[in-house]
Structure 1
Amino acid sequence: MTSSFGWLALDPEQRRRMMEAVDHFRDETTIDDLGFGGIRDAFSDTLFPGTSTLHTRLRYALFVPWLLQEASHRDTVAGMQSTFREYEYQLIEALQRGGEAEGVFGRDAGRALRRLPSEVYWGMLGRWGVFERGFTARGYFEREQLRREELRAAPSADDRDVHVHLTPTGLDPRLPDPPGGLLKNATFALRPEDAQYLREAITRTAAGTLLAHLAAHRPEIWTDSSTAPAGVGDPAIRQGLPPELGALVDRADRFALTAEGANLLYNLLLAEATGKHNRQGATLTKVYRDRMDAWFEEARSVEPLHVQDREAIWLMATARGRRVSRTTRDFIGTWADAVASASSAADLTGRADLRQLVVDREREKKGTRARLPPGNQYALDAWSGASGIGRFDYRWRNVSRHLQDLYDAEGVA
Structure 2
Amino acid sequence: METGGVTVNEGVIGWDARENLQRLPSIVYWGGLGTFDFRRFPGSNGDYHRSLDSFYQQFNDRPMREAGVDVSDRAPANWSPSLPPPPDDLWDTTTFAITRTEAEFFREQMARSCPDSLLTHLIMGSLDENEAQFPWDHPDAIDLPDPLTSNLDHAELFSLAIHGAALTYNLLLARSALERGMTGRSYDELGPSMRKGCQLGPMK
> What is the identity, as a one-letter code, of the residue corresponding to 2:164?
G
Q: Structure 1 residues 137, 281: closer, same or farther in 2, change over 3 A?
A: closer
Q: 2:152 is matched with which residue?
A: 249
Are 2:51 and 1:139 aligned? yes
Q: Structure 2 residue aligned with 1:179, among 63, 76, 87?
A: 87
- Structure-1 separation of matches of 2:21 and 2:170: 36
Residues 356-409 of structure 1: CA deviation (Å, up to 9, x unaligned): xxxxxxxxxxxxxxxxxxxxxxxxxxxxxxxxxxxxxxxxxxxxxxxxxxxxxx
Are 2:161 and 1:258 aligned? yes
Q: Show the 5 A alignment for 1:283-302.
A: 284-287=194-197
Q: 1:148 is matched with which residue?
A: 60
> What is the identity, as a one-letter code, of the residue corresponding to 1:176?
P
Tell me if the contact between 1:143 and 1:167 (Cα under 8 Å) persists in the aligned partners. Answer: no
Tell me if the contact between 2:121 and 2:127 (Cα under 8 Å) persists in the aligned partners. Answer: no
Residues 266-288 of structure 1: CA deviation (Å, up to 9, x unaligned): 33233222215333875834147
> What is the identity, as a one-letter code, of the residue corresponding to 1:203?
A
Q: Show the 5 A alignment for 1:8-27.
A: none
Residues 220-240 of structure 1: CA deviation (Å, up to 9, x unaligned): 243xxxxx3201221335142
| Relative contact order, higher structure (CA 8 A, sep 6+) | 1
Q: Structure 1 residues 162, 199: closer, same or farther in 2, change over 3 A?
A: same
- Structure-2 separation of matches of 1:216 and 1:189: 19
Q: Structure 2 residue aligned with 1:121, among 29, 37, 49?
A: 29
- Structure-2 separation of matches of 1:260 and 1:106: 27
Q: Structure 1 residues 258, 183: closer, same or farther in 2, change over 3 A?
A: closer
Alpha-carbon deviation of 1:120? 2.4
Residues 105-132 of structure 1: CA deviation (Å, up to 9, x unaligned): 4445555545433222222212221122
> What is the identity, as a one-letter code, of the residue corresponding to 1:149?
D
- Structure-2 separation of matches of 1:283 and 1:99: 40
Q: Show the 5 A alignment for 1:35-184.
A: 95-101=1-7, 102-111=10-19, 113-132=21-40, 133-134=42-43, 136-150=48-62, 153-154=63-64, 162-165=69-72, 166-184=74-92
Alpha-carbon deviation of 1:244? 2.4
- Structure-1 separation of matches of 2:23 and 2:169: 34
Aligned residues: 190
- Larger relative helix fraction: 1
TM-score w.r.t. the length of structure 1 is: 0.40
> What is the identity, as a one-letter code, of the residue corresponding to 1:201?
Q
Alpha-carbon deviation of 1:265? 2.9
Q: Structure 2 residue aligned with 1:267, among 164, 170, 175?
A: 170
Q: 1:194 is matched with which residue?
A: 102
Q: Structure 1 residues 272, 208: closer, same or farther in 2, change over 3 A?
A: same
Alpha-carbon deviation of 1:163? 1.1
> What is the identity, as a one-letter code, of the residue corresponding to 2:175?
E
Q: 2:188 is matched with which residue?
A: 278
Residues 143-177 of structure 1: CA deviation (Å, up to 9, x unaligned): 22321332xx44699xxx73134521221111111
- Structure-1 separation of matches of 2:194 and 2:21: 39
Q: 1:215 is matched with which residue?
A: 123
> What is the identity, as a one-letter code, of the residue corresponding to 1:278?
D
- Structure-2 separation of matches of 1:137 and 1:216: 33
Alpha-carbon deviation of 1:199? 2.0
- Give the root-mean-square deviation of aligned CA atoms: 3.2
Alpha-carbon deviation of 1:185? 1.6
- Structure-2 separation of matches of 1:104 and 1:194: 20
Q: 1:7 is matched with which residue?
A: none
